[in-house]
Amino acid sequence: MTATAQFPREVDRRGAFVRQASRFRDWVSADGSTGYPATPGRYHLYVSYACPWASRVVIVRKLKRLEDVIGMTVVDPIRDERGWRFTAADPDPHEGFRFLAEAYAATDPSFEGRVTVPVLWDTETRRIVNNESADIMRMLESAFDAWGDPSVDLYPADLRAEIDALNARIYETVNDGVYRAGFATTQEAYEEAVDALFATLDELDARLATRRYLCGDRITEADWRLFVTLVRFDAVYVGHFKCNLRRIADYPHLSGYLRDLYQQPGIAETVRFDHIKRHYYGTHPQINPTGIVPRGPLLDLDAPHDRARLGG
């Protein structure tokens, strides 16, 4: 039996979720050679605390100390048929948009895909520069060092090959894997996604038995790309997306690693469980038609961990 898809345009004939490609891929550079020079106050982020893709950009902005360099507006976690909307508490400060879809239409009137976050907006040309979170992370990591914290290097030259390989594996089976499980419309597609997801989590747990972070004793962008999925896992993906073979709390090394990252300075304030749970349980009617948000689970991410024994 084939169920109704949450996003019908992004499901293949097998009932597997196939995420749409990011539409806008222009680049901000330190020297301006790309046509978009890094300039304080010129660019603005539209994000959601609910979305893991947006959250990893929020984390890099925080770590690089770019809050006064790149503005940020947070959309409502409840998304209806009109998409992400701005709120009275956090309105769009530049164009007066009511919905993020208006930014997409202003940039490309022919755009017909799903409107997503994060979005990097150029206030000078009044268009979207980029809506791919991996790209935006890299731009924030390197293009704005003249105004941010250049000592924070999340993509060090000597680890780039290892980081790229980890990113590719984790994106395919974990970051996107939870969605492939949750948005699958056939048993076959669901089981394929879940099996790949937990095979990778098992591998990562074993990897973290002997190293504090994914690449050793340094935190890299690979860690933050994994973190945003792990921190949502027990609260949302276990129940809502049926990723319930194991919880992160059941993994001896992944669970301590998650607490270690969560307790890094400034990170806890980027994690808003009220936004996360309201979004997932309240905006996927094909999965949770009642819209009821569960009270649990109780999570203690401030509990001690022993990860420092591994260095770093």
* Residues 31-81: tens digit of each pLDDT: 999 999 999 999 999 999 999 999 999 999 999 999 999 999 999 999 988
- Number of Cβ atoms within 10 Å of the Cβ of 4: 9
Element (H, E) at 224: helix 221-232
pTM of the model: 0.96
Token pair recorded at residue 299? 């999570």
Once rounded to an integer, what is the mean pLDDT over residues 222-239?
A: 98
Query: Rounded to whole angstroms, how far apart are CA atoms 167 and 154?
Result: 13
pLDDT at position 190 over 90:
yes
Q: Which residues of 242-273 are buried (b: 16+ CB within 10 A; e: fewer)?
A: bbeebbbeebebbbbbbbbbbeeeebeebbbe
* Domains of the chain, each with CATH number or no CATH: 8-142 (3.40.30.10), 157-310 (1.20.1050.10)
Scan for tokens 């309240």, then name that residue.
282
51 among known catalytic residues: yes
Q: Which of 36, 51, 213, 243 is catalytic?
A: 51
> Which of 43, 46, 49, 179 is the catalytic position?
179
Backbone angles phi, psi at 275, to 5 degrees: -65, -45
3 pLDDT band, cuts 50/70/90, is low
Candidates 132, 134, 99, 117; CA nearest to 51 is 117
Q: At 20, is the pLDDT very low, low, confident or very high (cuts 50, 70, 90)?
A: very high
Q: And the tokens for 256?
A: 């301590």
d(CA 241, CA 35): 41
